[in-house]
Structure 1
Amino acid sequence: MFDKLMAAQQKADEIKKRLDTVSVFAEVEGGAIRITATANKAITAIEIDEEFYKQADKEEIEELLLTAINKALAQADIVSATEMQAATKDMLGGLGGMFGQ
């Protein structure tokens, strides 16, 4: 039983490491602002189109940045949840034998 629990923990750690290598993207205003993040919700890049930056005011840029960041984090949530759900299913399938299933 302990071996199966350790294997499940190891699998969860592997998934977390893999999520660090998965990138998600979000953009607003037709790509004027683009956010890149990992599936573990770490923002890795913010790109703002130079022409848009020159023409937009501070409040507009701030508002669009928030929107783009929240979109990227929502994408990260989806990817992370999908990965964790698949792993949980695998882990529970492996643990089922402990309970005679």
Structure 2
Amino acid sequence: MFGDLMGMMGKLKETQKKVEETKKRLDTVLIDEASNDGKLKITLTANRAIKNIEIDNELLEDKEQLEDYLVLTLNKAIARATQVNETEIAAVAKDGMPNIPGMDMFK
């Protein structure tokens, strides 16, 4: 019994380490998003850190329009980054989970 428990604990620690490594790697995965007309371009990491924003000069003339573009485009970029992040983390967590009866939440 204790051998199984120790094996499961070891596998959980290994999985935790892999999850942390995956989180670090996601800092290097870049997500590019642009407004529909290409006047605003945003790059962020899969961990949702903004790396770059490019704004067309035309948008600088209208503060309200620029704010709308920022909200819409940032939300799209964050949603894409979140999807990549959650998919990657879930894959690592699922792969590393020991087979514990009743604990199939990652399957």
Is the structural similarity TM-score above 0.5? yes
Aligned length: 94
Give the match's secondary structure for 1:31.
Answer: coil
Give the match's secondary structure for 1:18.
Answer: helix
What residue in structure 1 maps to residue 37 of structure 2? 30
Q: Shift of residue 53 of structure 1?
A: 3.0
Q: Shift of residue 84 of structure 1?
A: 1.4
What residue in structure 2 maps to residue 67 of structure 1? 72
- Whole-Å Cα distance in 1 between the matches of residues 36 and 82 of structure 2? 22
Q: Shift of residue 77 of structure 1?
A: 0.8
Q: Shift of residue 10 of structure 1?
A: 0.3
- Whole-Å Cα distance in 1 between the matches of residues 95 and 36 of structure 2? 40
Kindly provide the CA deviation profile for residues 6-45 of structure 1, in whole angstroms up to 9, marking residues without a partner as x: 1011011011001101011111142100111100011111
Matched, 1:9 2:35: no
- Whole-Å Cα distance in 2 between the matches of residues 72 and 25 of structure 1? 7
Q: Shift of residue 49 of structure 1?
A: 1.6
- Whole-Å Cα distance in 1 between the matches of residues 93 and 17 of structure 2? 12
Query: Match for 1:44: what amino acid?
Result: K
Residue in structure 2 matching 1:53, options 59, 73, 76: 59
Q: Which has the higher helix share?
A: 1
Structure 2: state its 5+ residue gaps.
1-5, 102-107
- Whole-Å Cα distance in 1 between the matches of residues 93 and 10 of structure 2? 16
Query: Match for 2:59: what amino acid?
Result: Y
Give the match's secondary structure for 1:21.
Answer: coil
Give the match's secondary structure for 1:30.
Answer: coil
Give the match's secondary structure for 1:40.
Answer: coil
Query: Match for 2:62: what amino acid?
Result: D
State the 4+ residue runs in structure 1 displaced beyond 2 angstroms: none
- Whole-Å Cα distance in 2 between the matches of residues 78 and 16 of structure 1? 13
Give the match's secondary structure for 2:85.
Answer: helix
